[in-house]
Structure 1
Amino acid sequence: MNKLLFFAHLKDEAGKESITIDAAGKNVAELKAFVAEQHGMTKLDSAMTAINEEFAEDSDIIQEGDTIAFIPPVSGG
Structure 2
Amino acid sequence: MISVLLFAGLAEKAGKQQIIIQKDQTTIDEIKIELQEVYGVDAAQNVMVAVNEIYTRGNAEVRSGDTVAFIPPVSGG
Q: TM-score normalized by structure 1?
A: 0.85
- Any residues of structure 2 matched to 1:9-24 within 5 Å, and which? 9-24=9-24
Large movers: runs of 4+ above 4 Å: none
Q: Kindly tell me the number of residue pairs found equivalent between the two proteins.
A: 76
Give the structure 2 partner of residue 56 of structure 1: 56
Distance 1:23 1:48 in 2: 22
Unaligned runs of 5+ in 2: none
**Structure (1 or 2) with the greater strand fraction:** 2
Q: CA RMSD in A?
A: 1.5
Q: TM-score normalized by structure 2?
A: 0.85
Unaligned runs of 5+ in 1: none
Q: Percent identity?
A: 39
